[in-house]
Amino acid sequence: MPTQANYAALDGLHTFPRLILHHAITRPDAPAIREKSLGIWQTWTWSDVADRVRALACGLSALGFKRGDNLAIIGDNRPHLYMMMAAAQSVGGVPVPLYQDAVAGEMLFVLQDAEVRFALVEDQEQVDKLLEIKDQLPALEHIVYDDPRGMRHYTQTFLHDVHELMEMGRIHDRNHPDFLNGEIEQGHFDDVSVMLYTSGTTGKPKGVCQTHASFIAAARGGIEVDRLTADEDILSYLPMAWVGDHLFSFAQATVAGFTINCPESGETVMTDLREIGPTYYFAPPRVFEGLLTSVMIRMEDAGKIKQKLFHHFMAVAKRCGADILDGKPVSGADRLQYWLGNLLIYGPLRNVLGMNRIRVAYTAGAAIGPELFSFYRSIGINLKQLYGQTETCAYVCLQPDGHVKSDTVGAPAPGVEIKIADNGEVLVKGPMLLKGYYKRPDATAESINADGYFLTGDAGFLDADGQLKIIDRAKDVGKLSNGGMFAPNYIENKLKFFQFIKEAVCFGSNRDMVCAFINIDVGAVGNWAERRGIAYAGYTDLATKPQVLELIRECLEEVNEALAGDVMVADSQVHRFLVLHKELDPDDDELTRTRKVRRNFVSDKYKVLIDALYEGKASQFIETEVKFEDGRRGKVSADLKIVDARTFPVAGKTA
Amino acid sequence: MSRKIGDVILDLQNISLRFGGVNALTDISFDVREHEVRAIIGPNGAGKSSMLNVINGVYHPQDGKIMYRGKERKKMEPHMAASTGIARTFQNIALFKGMSVLDNIMTGRNLKIKSNLLLQALWLGPAQKEEIEHRKKVEEIIDFLEIQHIRKTPVGRLPYGLQKRVDLGRALAMEPQILLLDEPMAGMNVEEKQDMCRFILDVNDQFGTTIVLIEHDMGVVMDISDRVVVLDYGKKIGDGVPDEVRASPEVIKAYLGAGH
């Protein structure tokens, strides 16, 4: 360990490596990272982390890693992967996290584009992927792996165990004791701290270069709004390549100095959540939805008395829970009932969900259903929304405590300016903006206008309280042939709020009516079917059952009724729909890795189905090739029934 | 592959097994070498499971000799087989359905536990220390088989493929020298089979465990075995590396080809 005197030279906490050293000096024994290994939570303190980052950084240098080099990071959320980010930054390099579940071919573009020389990967699986494409990556020189399992027979000299790298680093550090401090000192707040690739909903992924300054500004803003302290616990389980995880698990954790917890494996997240009981939590809406669905399914299997209790107190919570959370006045009788409910239902339920200690929970990435949103708030979980992009460090709007609404994404965060363009597009400006797209000055120029505002590509408006409301992607908002507004995501989100509907794709631009593809949720619909004694064999079979189609039709009609109530979107009622014979899947390129629908791809692939919807056919045969996880291919075919849904007259228009 | 196949560890000589008038096994001889994956194949009723039960000490052959590590094994009881390093899994999973995965695998450590019942019951001194050590070993197996997420789940609630994996874990907990697998992939879907193959090969590779397995799926057998012995109606009709066996006309007639 270097002496304290060496650190004193590093003044000013404007880069992440400096922040880590700061924590290591001021609170060396505070927990920085936890990981569950062999069934036990292991803790690394800030001084352990600083020590390892030092070893990793020196090890990289010993292997020839230089200022300005890019380092790919591929794997699940593991302590060494997080530490490696700081290690690369320490010597002036740029970490480039990649989505770990992508196949080798998908990683190729990013690895080539970033001219990656070094890669830290989690395990044999990721090593194999890189070896598969190594011929096409002339720049790639060294691959370091974290988990040595299965690696015994690999003899390539460019493969290194992470512990071997750290050993190299420690030797290097002993021989050049001033080297690393000098490197860290050279680090500037305007250096690129991380490169995050956009998911590529449109075109090739672009590398978004963010600086230390922008991520630290974004982190500080969030910490200020939510009064986060060094005592928070967060579960780091979302992909490291995603901007949100980088903000919460790396930037905010390093700035505020709180603890990140790495789950044992992807399947154990729920158990780990319960064991850790995070105080600060982030999940995309689908996770909250999944949790609620599983609670509801299990509730239906519960005894009569339990069901009665549950429904009674959920009604109480619905009436006054959110108001109590917001500190609004609530009658004494309701307060008493809520107190009782908290004792009997909400408390135990929060405990089961692992949300007992949560002070602040966020969701973002997609619209969240009002029902879903208020469910969590009503049982006392301070769930809020935020809004941001990779280009803005996921930091544009945050909902402040006490001003939380389900249909807005919050007020502009500290330091952020928002402007609405004439076409309705949301423009933002602030310290969190990207430095530029990697090697794409053209794209950078396109996305930032002359006044320095970033074009988000989202259509929205500021409501009366100054909170931002997002309607849809600006380019997706279309017009029906009768001139009515068609905002597909708006309708799809409404549809997806039903537990039975997993995914929906609406069509209607330049058409005379709106039609939809539906993916049912196998869990929820399967359970529903079992309850009614409907036998089925797999997704395709279940999706073609007439009873299921009837169920989905009811959902659609409910949405149509709601749409009819709002003049702006009344024309967007869904007239006809079908339930797809297979689930839309990122492996088949139908969804992005962040599980957003690739609208154009889907409409090309299933053109025959769209034609059938608009030509008024009653059914259509389709056969589709599917890719399995192991790369094999197969075919799924079905005769799909097309169903008409009732539409409703526009409120106020007929009167 | 750096794995080295060693000397003969188990040698079965002229084994015959009869149940009353039924000849289950007739004059069968084959050997198993250290660190190899040895498969026993054959149509239904060929005597595969009987063969495994003979090795395991459940059945006692009327004729023939079993040489284990150069010594002739007289009458062997299953628990003796276990304590000499032979573990097995079962065709119809033999786990405690109401117990958690962790506890089930822990039962595999039973033979290794030294402290007495009273100390264990009171969780005192040496028993406590011992249990922590065994638990560590069990956790390593859980990690190895990637079943962390079901550690605390009762086995009865698990899907079949995972139960099979737990069964393998229980057998592995004995740290066996020879692992007998009775149809480890029966009733599994393609993905589960692939997982299981990988685990079997990993066990063989990482721990050097000798593996004797019975399997119906010819593709699997040919892919993962070093040598294959083929039985039909209690008689040995083939023995050799997968390619030899595949080419043998007798084997083709009895098992691979048509005619059943």
Q: Do B140 and A38 touch (CB under 8 A)?
A: yes
- Torsion sign, CA atoms B243, B249, B251, B256: positive
What is the spatial distance between Cα B217 and Cα A234, in angstroms, rounded to a whole number?
46
Tell me, yes or no, if A265 comes closer than 8 A to chain B by beta carbon: yes
Q: What is the pLDDT of residue A75?
A: 95
What count of other Cβ atoms lies within 10 Å of the Cβ of residue B70? 9
Distance from CA of A631 to the nearest CA of B (A): 12
Q: Are residues B71 and B181 in the same domain?
A: yes
How many domains is chain B built from?
Answer: 2
CA distance B6 to chain A (A): 19
CB contact under 8 A, B149 and A267: yes
- DSSP for A14-81 reads -SHHHHHHHHHHHSTTSEEEEEEETTEEEEEEHHHHHHHHHHHHHHHHHTT--TT-EEEEESSS-HHH
Question: Which one of B159, B175, B191 terminates a domain?
Answer: B175
Q: Are strands A436-437 and A207-211 parallel, antiparallel or unpaired?
A: antiparallel
> Which among B134, B149, B193, B194 is the top mutation candidate for probing chain A, defined by the most A β-carbons within 10 Å of its own β-carbon?
B149
* Helix ranges restricted to H, A199-282: 212-226, 243-245, 269-276
| pLDDT value at B260 more than 50 | no
Report residue A386's pLDDT band, with 50, 70 and 90 as the boundaries. very high
User: Do B9 and B44 have their domain in common?
Assistant: yes
DSSP letters for B68-124: ETTEEE-S--HHHHHHTTEEEE-SS----TTSBHHHHHHHTTGGG--S-HHHHHHT-
Predicted local distance difference test score (pLDDT) of residue A95: 97
Most B CBs within 10 A among A38, A41, A274, hence the mutation to make, goes to: A38
The reply to whether B166 and B189 lie within a common domain is no
Mean pLDDT, range A440-456, rounded to an integer: 92
Are A472 and A459 within 8 A, CB to CB? yes
The rounded distance, in Å, linking the Cα atoms of A191 and A94 is 9
Whole-angstrom Cα distance, residue A53 to residue A50?
Answer: 5
Return the exposure string of A584-595: e unless at least 16 CB atoms fall within 10 Å of the residue's CB, then b: bebebebbbbbe
Q: Are B61 and B16 in contact (CB under 8 A)?
A: yes
- For residue A265, give the nearest of B148, B191, B194 by CB distance: B148
pLDDT at residue A1 tops 50: no
A265 neighbourhood in chain B, CB within 8 Å: 146, 148-149
Answer whether residue A5 shows pLDDT above 50. Answer: no
Interface touch A268/B202, C-beta < 8 Å: no
The secondary structure element, H or E, covering residue A310 is helix A304-326
**Quick one: average pLDDT of A358-369?**
86
Fold topology of A283-356+358-473: Rossmann fold (3.40.50)
Q: Kindly provide the residue ranges of all beta strands, DSSP E only, lying in B120-249, ordered along the sequence.
A: 178-182, 210-214, 227-232, 235-240
Give which of B13, B32, B12 is closest to B210, Cα–Cα: B32
Span A506-564, pLDDT tens digits? 998 888 899 999 999 998 899 899 989 999 988 889 999 999 999 999 999 999 988 88
B77 and B188 assigned to the same domain: yes
b/e for A543-565, b at 16 or more Cβ within 10 A? bbbeebbebbbebbbebbeebbe
Q: What is the mean pLDDT of residues A9-15?
A: 67
Residues B9 and B112 in one domain: no
Residue with tokens 């099979």: B164
Structure tokens at A550: 């009837």
pLDDT score recorded for residue A81: 97
Greatest extent of chain B over all pairs of C-alpha atoms, in Å:
64
Return the C-alpha torsion angle A360, A361, A366, A368, nearest 10: -100
Question: What part of A 570-629 touches B (C-beta under 8 Å)?
Answer: 629
Say which range, A39-53, A106-120, A560-574, has the weakest mean pLDDT. A560-574
The CATH class that applies to domain A478-644 reads alpha beta
Residue of A nearest to B202 (CA): A150
Confidence of residue B210 (pLDDT cuts 50, 70, 90): very high
The residue among B152, B175, B198 that closes a domain is: B175
Could you list the beta-strand ranges (E) of A237-359: 259-262, 280-282
Look up residue B99 and give its two tokens: 């117990």
The whole-number pLDDT of residue A566 equals: 66
**Among the listed residues A196, A220, A200, the one whose alpha carbon sits nearest the alpha carbon of residue A208:** A196
Confidence of residue A568 (pLDDT cuts 50, 70, 90): low
Q: What angle do CA B131, B134, B137 make, to 5 degrees?
A: 155
Q: How confident is the model at residue A200 (pLDDT cuts 50, 70, 90)?
A: low
- Read off the pLDDT band of A307 (50, 70, 90): very high
Query: Is the per-residue pLDDT at B29 higher than 90?
Result: yes
Per-residue pLDDT tens digits for A136-183: 999 999 999 999 988 888 999 999 999 999 999 999 999 999 999 999
This complex has an ipTM of 0.73
Q: Tokens for A41, please give them.
A: 């939570």
What pLDDT, on a 0 to 100 scale, did the predictor assign at position A53?
97
Mark yes or no for CB contact A152/B139 under 8 Å: no
What domain range includes position B79?
1-85+176-260
Evaluate whether the domain defined by A7-279 bears CATH number 3.40.50.12780.
Answer: yes
Nearest to A185 by CA among A47, A437, A2: A2
Q: Would the pLDDT of B66 be above 80?
A: yes
CB contact under 8 A, A630 and B191: yes
Pairing of β A94-98 and β A118-121: unpaired
Are B104 and B146 in the same domain?
Answer: yes
The model's confidence at residue A299, banded by pLDDT at 50, 70 and 90, is: confident
Tracing tokens 């490696």 back to the chain, one arrives at A84
Write A151-159 long-range contacts (CB < 8 A, 24+): A151/A124, A151/A127, A152/B2, A152/B205, A152/B206, A153/B1, A153/B2, A154/A127, A156/A131, A159/A127
- CA distances (Å), origin A519, targets A185, A549, B7: 54, 11, 58
Contact A268 B139 (CB under 8 A): no
For residue B191, what is the nearest residue in chain A, using CA coordinates? A630
The CATH number covering residue B114 comes to: 3.40.50.300
Phi, psi angle pair for A222, to nearest 5°: -65, -40
Residue to test with chain B: of A124, A125, A271, A629, most B Cβ within 10 A: A271
- Which residues have C-beta within 8 Å of that of residue A441, sequence separation ≥ 6? none
Domains of chain A, by residue range, sit at 7-279, 283-356+358-473, 478-644
d(CA A421, CA A427): 7
Q: Is A283-356+358-473's fold the same as A478-644's?
A: no
Both B24 and B66 in a single domain?
yes
A39 touching B (Cβ < 8 Å): yes
Q: Report residue A44 CA to chain centroid gap.
A: 26
Check if the beta carbon of residue B169 is closer than 8 Å to that of residue B158.
no
| Contact between A68 and A93 (Cβ < 8 Å) | yes
pLDDT the model gives residue B43: 82
pLDDT of the residue at B140 = 92
Give CA–CA dist A222/A386, Å, rounded. 10
* Same-domain check for residues B154 and B29: no
CB contact under 8 A, A39 and B151: yes
Q: What is the pLDDT of residue A552?
A: 94
State how far the Cα of A331 lies from the Cα of A334, in Å rounded to an integer: 5
Residue A597 · residue A590 · CB < 8 Å: yes
Q: Annotate A355-421 with DSSP letters as a single string.
A: -TT-SEEEE-SS---HHHHHHHHHTT--EEEEE--GGGTT-SEEPPTT---SS--BEEPTT-EEEE-
Residue B46 · residue B232 · CB < 8 Å: yes
Q: Which of A55-59, A215-219, B235-239 has the lowest mean pLDDT?
A: B235-239
Picking from B148, B175, B202, the residue at the C-terminal end of a domain is B175
The structure's pTM equals: 0.79
